């Protein structure tokens, strides 16, 4: 089920589970799960940051290690795992007196709570991403960035979807979902590398950054469409057209109406005097927008993203960003670690003959993910002497948005285990290879570093105001 449907169904399931489960044991299981999640996210994030990679990639890998693939500390019943595979349930049985008869109910309730926190985490993540975008800068990047971004969405999406359906015989809905996951671009790692090699202020750097911003907006619209298709289970051309139009109108309409709402929001925030006078009204608005998006059969995360775009235009933007960060720090890692924990990389083990198709599928997605972005540089026109290869390479890393696709697909149940694992491998590998490739395609980067050294120093202190750049990137 998509995230919006999962939220609707999780609450009654949780209520049913806790009716027969000991609430104190459920609380204990949830607390232990959060200890595992936060430890894995912090350890993975710190190690990833030390080697110059996005911390979210470390959080994902940390989730893989504590999840069903390795340690079985954080497992979920929807993956076919039972209580005998959960080390947290075993720990409660040996230390807290949890009986074997009560364990299944506690396990189900604990899993529901963590899943809900994960879903709330991705909603807050998209709200934070919207807050960090800048519509004025986006409109200033010009037609070049828009063309590159459009190619970066269309080429990998079409190649991935058609390839999965024709080569591997994957049905339409999961193939479309996997193809959509190939459209994302993470700007965080690219902007960091460009800054380090002194190319952030070059023509190539500006086109890459602008295209990545537009690319992620288009990707989020695509996600809203394919997420809605997963609810219906069929591909109807009329429904697809409706979803594309409704997602675009919703996003544009929210931005336009936001110009009217901005003044009212600031006025309300100024009149409130108790704690949370700014961040609580902001979250009320974000959750209302998320609800409205789900009502018109879109993904709730699109509404949260639109809310962030609206509030980014207010005078309270910087203050609101600072107040949202600690809340995101608490909930967003739950999403990334949970995505990793639910990913069974064992289905890609080549030693098992039945897994070979899944491994080949992962290799196919990785190739399409790389080539599908590299060719975007060829769409640049009217720029003699520009490094088109560098532009394409700069669009390769998937990062956060790619993981959002994987998470939504896993929650919807539309992705098989091999296909879900293949998407995760694609996100990890494209993020790993992008930095060295980007340095390679700028052979004179050492002499270019001084050209925008001051800009690089400012970015080291504060990341650029772009769609996917967060404080951890």
- The least confident of 27-41, 185-199, 339-353 is 185-199
Q: What is the pTM of this model?
A: 0.72
How big is the chain, counted in residues?
Answer: 473
Residue 192 tokens, joined: 């960091």
Place of tokens 């080390």: 87
Instruction: Give pLDDT tens digits for 71-110.
Output: 888 988 876 677 778 889 999 999 888 888 888 899 989 9
Give just the sign of the alpha carbon dihedral 52, 55, 57, 60. positive
Which pLDDT does position 399 carry in this prediction?
Answer: 66
The mean pLDDT of 347-356, rounded to a whole number, is 74
Considering the four listed CATH numbers 3.20.20.60, 2.60.40.1580, 1.10.10.10, 1.20.1530.20, the one that applies to the domain covering 120-442 is 1.20.1530.20
- pLDDT tens by residue, 8-29: 444 444 444 445 667 889 999 9
Q: What is the pLDDT of residues 196-250, one digit of tens each?
A: 677 766 778 778 877 877 777 777 778 777 777 766 666 666 767 777 787 778 8
Residue with the larger pLDDT of the pair 21 and 337: 337
User: Which of 205, 212, 215 minimizes the C-alpha distance to 390?
Assistant: 205
User: Confidence band (pLDDT; 50, 70, 90) for 156?
Assistant: very high
Q: How confident is the model at residue 407 (pLDDT cuts 50, 70, 90)?
A: confident
Q: Would the CA dihedral through 104, 107, 109, 111 be positive or negative?
A: negative
For the segment 52-68, the average pLDDT, to the nearest whole number, is: 84
Please state, for a pLDDT cut of 90, what percent of the chain lies above it: 17
Q: What are phi and psi of 375, to 5 degrees?
A: -70, -15
DSSP symbols for 167-224: HS---HHHHHHHHHHTT---HHHHHHHHHHTT-TTSHHHHHHHHHHHHHHHHHHHHHH
- What token pair was written down for 100? 């074997």
Burial of 19 (0-12, 13-18, 19+ CB in 10 A): exposed
Q: Given this model, what pLDDT does residue 42 score? A: 94
CB-based contact 470:324 (threshold 8 Å): no
| Segment 114-139 mean pLDDT | 80
Q: What are the structural domain ranges in the chain?
A: 23-113, 120-442
């Amino acid at each position: 089920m998509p995230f919006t449907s999962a939220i609707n169904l999780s609450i009654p399931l949780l209520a049913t589970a806790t009716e027969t489960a000991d609430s104190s044991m459920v609380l204990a299981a949830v607390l232990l799960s959060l200890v595992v999640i936060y430890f894995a996210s912090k350890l993975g994030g710190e190690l990833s940051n030390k080697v110059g990679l996005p911390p979210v990639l470390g959080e994902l890998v940390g989730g893989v290690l504590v999840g069903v693939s390795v340690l079985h500390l954080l497992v979920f019943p929807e993956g076919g795992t039972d209580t005998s595979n959960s080390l947290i349930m075993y720990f409660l049985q040996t230390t807290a007196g949890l009986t074997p008869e009560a364990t299944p109910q506690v396990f189900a309730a604990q899993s529901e709570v963590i899943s809900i926190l994960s879903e709330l985490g991705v909603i807050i993540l998209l709200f934070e991403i919207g807050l960090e975008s800048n519509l004025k800068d986006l409109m200033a990047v010009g037609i070049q960035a828009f063309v590159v971004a459009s190619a970066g969405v269309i080429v990998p999406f079409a190649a991935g979807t058609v390839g999965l359906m024709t080569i591997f015989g994957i049905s339409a809905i999961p193939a479309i979902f996997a193809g959509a996951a190939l459209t994302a671009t993470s700007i965080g790692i690219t902007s960091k590398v460009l800054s380090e090699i002194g190319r952030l202020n070059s023509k190539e750097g500006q086109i890459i950054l602008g295209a990545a911003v537009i690319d992620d907006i288009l990707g989020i619209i695509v996600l809203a469409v394919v997420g809605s298709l997963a609810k219906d289970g069929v591909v109807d051309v009329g429904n697809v057209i409706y979803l594309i139009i409704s997602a675009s109108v919703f996003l544009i309409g929210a931005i336009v109406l936001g110009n009217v709402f901005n003044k009212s929001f600031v006025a309300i925030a100024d009149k409130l005097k108790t704690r949370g006078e700014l961040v609580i009204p902001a979250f009320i608005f974000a959750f209302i927008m998320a609800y409205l998006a789900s009502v018109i059969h879109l993904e709730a995360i699109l509404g949260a993203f639109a809310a962030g775009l609206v509030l980014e235009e207010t005078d309270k933007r910087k203050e609101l960003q600072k107040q949202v960060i600690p809340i995101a720090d608490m909930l967003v890692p739950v999403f990334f670690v949970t995505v990793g924990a639910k990913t069974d990389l064992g289905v890609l083990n080549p030693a098992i003959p039945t897994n070979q198709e899944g491994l080949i599928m992962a290799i196919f997605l990785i190739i399409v993910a790389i080539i599908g972005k590299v060719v975007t540089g060829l769409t640049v026109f009217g720029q003699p002497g520009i490094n088109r290869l560098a532009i394409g390479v700069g669009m390769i890393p998937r990062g956060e948005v790619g993981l959002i696709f994987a998470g939504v697909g896993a929650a919807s149940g539309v992705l098989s285990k091999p296909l879900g694992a293949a998407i995760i491998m694609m996100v990890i590998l494209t993020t790993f290879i992008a930095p060295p490739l980007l340095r390679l395609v700028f052979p004179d980067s050492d002499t270019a570093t001084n050209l925008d050294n001051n800009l690089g120093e400012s970015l080291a202190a504060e990341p650029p105001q772009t769609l996917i750049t967060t404080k951890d990137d």
